[in-house]
Amino acid sequence: MQTKDYKDEFKQKGLKNTKQRAAILEILQESDRPITAEQVYNELKEKNVPVNLSTIYRNFLFLCEKELVNKLALTGESSTFYEINRMVHRHYLVCLGCKKVLAIDDCPLESYEELLAEETNFVITGHKLDIFGYCADCQKKDLNEQHNKNS
Amino acid sequence: MQTKDYKDEFKQKGLKNTKQRAAILEILQESDRPITAEQVYNELKEKNVPVNLSTIYRNFLFLCEKELVNKLALTGESSTFYEINRMVHRHYLVCLGCKKVLAIDDCPLESYEELLAEETNFVITGHKLDIFGYCADCQKKDLNEQHNKNS
DNA sequence: TTGGATGCAAAAGTTTTGCACGGTT
DNA sequence: AACCGTGCAAAACTTTTGCATCCAA
């Protein structure tokens, strides 16, 4: 996978281009789903990039401030997740069976947000939508398993 | 506000009707937004109901298992939130200024999910939607602060 | 009476912080 | 050289757990 070099973004945003920072951002880029500080830590260990957990947290902080990274909470998870900010508004369709994540291109919420803003007097700045279900493959698997159980 | 007596639900689900459990559920019922263990703890203290934080967490666990309460993670918050299960599908509008959480009753996604299911061959079982912005109060505060800065 | 519920304290897990040192610019 | 970034250790904060005691059924 090709990973982007953030050297220019760093300079522009007043961040130094350190080995750790670049490595953290590379891990985030390579991941197709949000990950935790711990997971980044372990991946860097495997790559023999020396880094401390606190450095990862501190970088998450800076990178979120600079909007290169997004921070998100997932229901049922005790840790915070982080993902690279791909600068496109996207939603995800997550298969609860195989954990496959599908990106959805269109967003059904724009007109709804206007309506909601009127009703509540909020200024609406964003939203987060994840949709869950079972993909075609996992539906088949489920059917097979149920069949086996009953036979 | 009228609060429901959960004595029968407790019996039916095999939970004892203790003073603490009833009080926790009453706090949740009285709240129009999800709240944290800490918040429940403080409210019970004010009401002079003696209770330990660990009791609150343990009750959250049981009450979630029995589906009387829902657990939820909100982006940007370090603690877990809990709300009474009103058996209705709900979304939340979160103020990024004062962290106020507003429940939204209607859901714009039902018809969209049907469409998406057709397109992707997923069976869709659920979704999570949080909307962010600034409430009327915080919009005013922001204006004041900017005014003060410039003067 | 008895098993579940609670209080207390300690532990576990996650995230933050202070400080000295090191590396980029 | 200056200063931001890092490592390390300790602290802070949230949540869980073990155990003795208590109380609802």
Angle at which helix A53-65 crosses helix A37-46, to 10 degrees, equals 120
**How far apart are alpha carbons A74 and A92 in whole angstroms?**
13
One pLDDT digit (tens) per residue for chain A, 151 residues: 667 888 888 999 999 999 999 999 999 999 978 899 999 999 999 999 999 999 999 999 999 999 999 998 877 788 999 999 887 777 888 777 766 777 787 888 888 899 899 999 998 888 888 888 888 888 877 666 655 644 4
B102 closest CA partner among A76, A75, A119: A119
Q: What is the pTM of this model?
A: 0.77
> Which helix (H) or strand (E) covers residue A88, if one does?
none
Domains of chain A: 1-87 (1.10.10.10), 89-151 (3.30.1490.190)
Q: How far apart are CA B74 and CA B103, in angstroms?
A: 13
Q: Does nucleic acid strand C have an atom less than 7 angstroms from the CB of A77?
A: no
| B122, B127, B134 member nearest A129 (Cβ) | B127
What's the angle, vertex CA B67, arms to CA B65 and CA B69, rounded to 5?
Answer: 100
Residue-wise pLDDT tens digits, B23-74: 999 999 999 889 999 999 999 999 999 999 999 999 999 999 999 999 998 8
Nearest to A116 among B104, B109, B125 (CB): B104
Backbone angles phi, psi at B2, to 5 degrees: -80, 130
Kindly give, in sequence order, each residue whose CB lies less than 8 Å from that of residue B84, ignoring residues fewer than 6 positions away. Answer: B25, B28, B29, B31, B68, B69, B70
Q: Which nucleotide is nearest to B17 (CA to C1')?
A: D24
Strand partners, A104: A91
Say which amino acid occupies A121: N
Nearest to A128 among B104, B122, B130 (CB): B130
Structure token pair of residue B101: 């959480």
How far is A146 from B100, CA to CA, in rounded Å?
45
Mean pLDDT of B89-115: 83
Tell me the three state secondary structure of residue B127: strand
Size (chain A), residues: 151
Tell me how far apart the alpha carbons of residues B47 and B41 are, in angstroms, rounded to a whole number.
Answer: 10
Task: Give the protein-side footprint of strand D (Cβ within 7 Å).
Answer: A 15-16, 18-21, 50-52, 54-55, 58-59, 62, 78; B 10-11, 16-19, 36-38, 53-54, 57-58, 60-61, 78-80
* Residues written for chain B: 151
- Partners of A117 on chain B (C-beta within 8 Å) are 133
* Residue B150, pLDDT above cutoff 50: no
B120 → chain A, closest CA residue: A135
A29 C-beta less than 7 Å away from strand C: no
